[in-house]
Each structure stands twice: as C-alpha cells, then as structure tokens.
Amino acid sequence: MRAAIHIATTRLSSCLRPILLLDLVSCSPRQFSTPRRLICSAATKASDGGGGGGRSGSIVAPPVIEENFQKIDVNPPKGTRDFAPEDMRLRSWLFNHFKEVSRLFGYEEVDFPVLETEALFIRKAGEEIRDQLYCFEDRGNRRVALRPELTPSLARLVIQKGKSVSLPLKWFAVGQCWRYERMTRGRRREHYQWNMDIIGVPQVTAEAELISSIVTFFKRVGITASDVGFKVSSRKVLQELLTKYGVPEKLFGRVCVIIDKIEKLPIDEIKKELGFTGISEDAIEQLLQVLSVKSLDDLEDILGGAGEAIADLKQLFSLAEKFGYSEWIQFDASVVRGLAYYTGIVFEGFDRKGKLRAICGGGRYDRLLSTYGGDDIPACGFGFGDAVIVELLKEKGLLPEVRQEVENIVCALDKDLQGAASTVATALRDKGQTVDLVLESKPLKWVFKRAARVNARRLVLVGKTEWEDGSVSVKVLSTGEQFQVKLSDLE
C-alpha cells in the first residue's frame, strides 16, 4: 500500500497529499472508492501527458492497492460452480463419455474461445438467448460476449477454413457456455455443452446418425428408452404452412422463435406477437392447430403427402429403425426450438416423467453460414448440457461414485531417505505408474490412512537396509501381500 500511496501522491499537487493519505489510512476496505478514484485519475493523467513512456492511446490499468484484508464471499457468483476434486472427477467421467461416444462415431474434437465478438450472437429474430448474453466492452473498445452456445463459433471456423477443408466435417466439442438465465433445476448461468455437428451433408442421414450418437451415450450411462425420448419435428412443416399463407421467408426465424414460447406465455400473447409480424389471423389459427399434431399420418392429411417436411420425417423414422432406436423417438409438431437458425429437422431429448427441462436439443441449420457472409453449407448438430443429465442420473441412482485413485504411495521410512524416495517415484512415473509421494516425514499409521483415502493399490516403502541393496519394500494393499524388490525390477 505504501508504494501505491507514494506513486500517487508524488503526482498530485502538494495540497492534496495530506487529505489523500488521511483517507487511505482511515478507510475501512469498503470505503475505498474516493481515494481509489483519486489515485486512478492521477496515474492516468501522469501517463497521458507526463512522459511516462506509455504508448499513445494505451490503456492505463488502475494501480493495485494492497489492502490489509478484504473479506470475500467464498461462494462463486450466482449461477456458476466451483469444481472441487470430487465434482471434477464426476465431470471428467461425464465428459469422457461425451468424448468417447464422439470418437466412436468418427468425430474430431474442436474448440473455440469462450470470448467472442458480440456480433456473432446478435440475430434479429428476438431470441431469448440474446437477452441472456453476458456482453461488455473490452479495454480496446470492442464489443465482446461470453459465448452462450458453440454453434456460431463453429460456423465462424468453418467459414474461416473455407475450401481448405474437405467435406463433410464431423466435429465435436465440449465447452463452457454462459447465459444470464433465470435459475431453475438444471438451468444455470454457466454450463458445459457437448456438441456434435456435421457440416456438408444435406440428407437426413446426418440427423439420424446424430440422434444415434446421443442414444449411444444414454445407453452407456444406463439410461433407457423408458427414461427418456426424443421429440422430433421439422421446421419445414411451419415453412410450408407459412408459404401457403404467403408469409415472406424472411419472417420464418422470427415466427419460429415466437412459437417456441408457446408453453411459457399465454396463448393470447403468442397470437398477439405473431400478429405483430403481419401474419393473418387465419394463418395463425392454422399454425397453432398444426402444432398440436402428434402423428405423421395426421400431419400428412393437413400438408398433403408431397412436401419435403413429410419426406424428411419419414426418412428419419425409417433410419431410426435401421439404427435401432425407433422406441426412443416420436413425432411432435410442437417442437420448434428457440434458436432462429434452424431450417429443417429439429429434435429435443426429454425425460419421460416430465420433471426436467430439455436434456439436449439440435437440428438442421442449412442457412447459418450466409448470415455471417459465408457461403451456405448444409449443416446439423446438437447441444447436450451437463446439468440436466446429472439431475436425471441422480434421480435414477445412476450417478457413479468416482473415487480418487492412485497406483502407488511412495514413502521414505527415514528423513534421510527422502531423496531416495524421490528416485523411486520418478522410476515408477517413468514407467507410467501414478505415484503419490509422501513429501514430509510421517508415521506409518498416517501413510496407511492416506493410502486408504486415495485408494492406493500398493505402498512402496523406502527403508535404509533395503535401499543400501537397491531394493524397496512393497505392500499390496488389497491382499496384504508384502515383498522386497530391486528398484530396476519394480513394475
């Protein structure tokens, strides 16, 4: 603190000095705002004109004032999580399943920055996601945002790669997303999303395989078709109706976003919002009627059999049979999804008890790239959050207890043998074995307790007599078997 006060005061007029010092000394940590501002502006002025050698236009960080203490809230910000080791083990277990399933299907992993330009997420359709954006101006006056989803970043990367990549691309990512959401069960302000996307395949075979990968994941973690299902529809259903009523194509995204709110808003509100887009009352009535359709046959009666919507959906259900997940999916015209960019098949994973929000969701977005100035490439994918699935697994008693595990505990029996224990630890680690090396002189009782806590497989003890012979004592903890072995033979 003294240093900060000194720098600031030497650059302030002498009459200010005593007041500033007095304020800083007498202030409690929470009352620092006035002197802080004084110091900050003084420092800024000094570098602005004072020949401090700063680049012109550079930003001057406020000086750090070391306070004696500042009592902090030890909880993370509302809606965010810490991952203590036990939480992290569970998270790794879940992410490993995401990653292994993606690799099983031949996808390559990608990642993007959590911080993106705000413009990437600004779409005109009035989506909820826009109001939930964590956005701000950075120190270079650029508007930036914490990503609320991964799809726009993926689209950006595909455009950037251009013709240097050969299609189709099959990419997956697991990344943190930020949305300023109202907190409910399974919805938070920060979550991780597993995404799988296929770029460059216009056929429904792509959507069919994506759903198959999610089913594979569910099966691996013990979830069955009687626990969860997928509601499937196609935005082309709405598109065909809107075309029939002469609604311009540019309104499509906006209409879908309004319709997606149907379960959250009173129906009159939905009708009013749809009315604002200029859609006729007749069209609105027909749209709302179609949304209640739950069978493909009924839909065919309304739309006629010739349209793309029916053809796509029929092909998807036929492929579901071939992939072997028919019992998991059902047609439901009310699934529209809240993101404006979907253009074809859309789907949502739901829990059959109806207690939780959507487990995952995705669909086809063939025209997203052109909204960023790129050439359109057919694309589809899904996002699968880490929060709802954990709730579901917990409820079903399927959440594993993932224990800390280490293969060896290495311990010196004598203070002078700490160096020798380090040599033993390195030899084992070089052979790929995990080692928890005891770094202090501890009684054996303590070492055994620790071994039990970290679920060590064996104890490697470095004692004086054995070590003189280049050997160590090994105790296999599960069997109690004990033996001496030369370090070079220790496997």
**Interface residue list for ligand HAM (CB under 6 A):** 149, 151, 179, 181, 187-188, 191, 193, 195, 197, 339, 358-362, 381-385, 387-388
Q: Which two tokens stand for residue 178?
A: 């930020």
Q: Which residue is nearest to ligand HAM (CB)?
A: 385
CB nearer ligand HAM, residue 307 or residue 383: 383
CB nearer ligand HAM, residue 198 or residue 459: 198
φ, ψ for residue 418 (rounded to 5)? Answer: -60, -40
Least CB distance from residue 148 to ligand HAM, whole Å? 7
CB nearer ligand HAM, residue 199 or residue 284: 199
Single-letter amino acid, residue 99: K
Least CB distance from residue 81 to ligand HAM, whole Å? 11
Please check if 151 is assigned to a binding site.
Answer: yes
CB nearer ligand HAM, residue 58 or residue 370: 370
Single-letter amino acid, residue 478: S
Least CB distance from residue 55 to ligand HAM, whole Å? 39
CB nearer ligand HAM, residue 263 or residue 468: 263
- Give 3-state DSSP helix, strand, coil % of the chain, rounded to 5: 45, 20, 35
Of residues 455, 229, 201, 200, the one with CA closest to residue 358: 229
CB nearer ligand HAM, residue 156 or residue 187: 187
- Kindly state the helix (H) or strand (E) to which residue 76 belongs, with its residue range: none
Please check if 179 is assigned to a binding site.
Answer: yes
Q: Which two tokens stand for residue 323?
A: 């992939």
Q: Is 252 helix (H, G, I), strand (E, B) or coil?
A: helix
Please check if 341 is assigned to a binding site.
Answer: yes
CB nearer ligand HAM, residue 152 or residue 307: 152
Which ranges of 133-234 would DSSP assign to H, the alpha helix?
151-161, 205-220
The whole-angstrom separation of Cα 355 and Cα 28 is 48
Is the distance from CB of 212 to CB of 349 less than 8 angstroms? Answer: no
Least CB distance from residue 197 to ligand HAM, whole Å? 5
The whole-angstrom separation of Cα 216 and Cα 194 is 14
477 DSSP 8-state letter: T
Please check if 193 is assigned to a binding site.
Answer: yes
The whole-angstrom separation of Cα 378 and Cα 168 is 9
Least CB distance from residue 120 to ligand HAM, whole Å? 12
456 DSSP 8-state letter: E
Least CB distance from residue 380 to ligand HAM, whole Å? 7
Q: Which two tokens stand for residue 77?
A: 């910000």
Please check if 342 is assigned to a binding site.
Answer: yes
Least CB distance from residue 93 to ligand HAM, whole Å? 18
CB nearer ligand HAM, residue 186 or residue 307: 186
Is the distance from CB of 405 to CB of 477 less than 8 angstroms? Answer: no
R_g over Cα of the chain: 30
Least CB distance from residue 317 to ligand HAM, whole Å? 21
Please check if 150 is assigned to a binding site.
Answer: yes
The whole-angstrom separation of Cα 253 and Cα 225 is 32
Q: Where is the binding site, in residues?
A: 149-151, 179, 193, 197, 337, 341-342
Q: Where is the binding site for L-histidine, in residues?
A: 149-151, 179, 193, 197, 337, 341-342
